[in-house]
Amino acid sequence: MLVLTAYLGAAVLYVASLVARDSERARPTARLATALAGVGVLAHTLGLFALVAETGRSPYSTVYGALAFMAWLVVLMQLGMVGWARLYALGAISLPVAFLMLLCALALPPELRQLLPLLRQHTMAAHISIAILGYGAFAVAFGLAVLYLLENRLRKARKLRGLLERLPPLRTTEELASRFAAFGHAMLSLGLIIGTVAGLREARFHFWSDPKVLPALITWGIYTAYLVLRWGIGWRGRTASYLLVAGFVAVLVTFVGINLLFPGMHGAVR
């Protein structure tokens, strides 16, 4: 509950600092939000260590642990962005996302807190950790894309006022989003390769009957298309940001939706 409360409080404060009319009041509010997020991520880290001690496995060996680990990664990346680029505005998107991820993890049914058969193999740890790292990067890219779309809309409506100095330049937001998307794509690609090789080595594992395979490939395809269009032909602007939003929706379907619809089937052997 401490972690959830800290993340919720940080999310509210980040939003408040973004929409505040008084810039002098917005800065300390954003700093307080960051401090609260730091307290939350510290408590979250201790919770993940406790989960490892209890199960004897990595925290992402279950759907519950994977969601909690991904939420932790998102907040950690947010703190990194604040430290590196003073990008407080991103917290208004990333902290609510992390809060909802953790809330969803806590609401999962008991069967999704158990190790899946194939995931009991230590060789799958790399597949899971790398894929989740990619998903975390996609979450940050999603936050930056939403921030870009919001700022672009406000600029056109000429409603920025005090927000202007709190939002990064559009070009900076777009560039950062593309870099996080590229990193996430590299991690997802590597994770898919490792997972495929490890899965096919299991004689009773049927690759195409796994319900998560097709959504994962669709997700990979969306981000591949984005990167080809972005880096290949210089595709920018709102359409590119909308594609990043669509990509993260695909991530949620792959990562959460499939596990809820087909509990226990991903990585199962027959």
pLDDT of residue 133: 92
Whether 18 and 77 share a structural domain: yes
Query: pLDDT digit string (tens) for 207-254?
Result: 556 677 788 899 999 999 999 999 888 888 889 999 999 999 999 888
Mean pLDDT to the nearest integer, 66-88? 92
Q: Which phi and psi (to 5°) does residue 246 adopt?
A: -60, -40
Question: Lowest-confidence range among 189-193, 215-219, 259-263?
Answer: 259-263
Is the pLDDT score of 266 beyond 60? no
Whether 145 and 251 share a structural domain: yes
- State the pLDDT confidence band at 94, using cuts at 50, 70 and 90: very high
* pTM of the entire predicted model: 0.88
Domain boundary (81, 113, 145) is at 113
Whether 167 and 182 share a structural domain: yes
Whether 85 and 154 share a structural domain: no
Whether 258 and 143 share a structural domain: yes
Q: Which domain holds residue 218?
A: 116-270
Name the domain count of the chain: 2
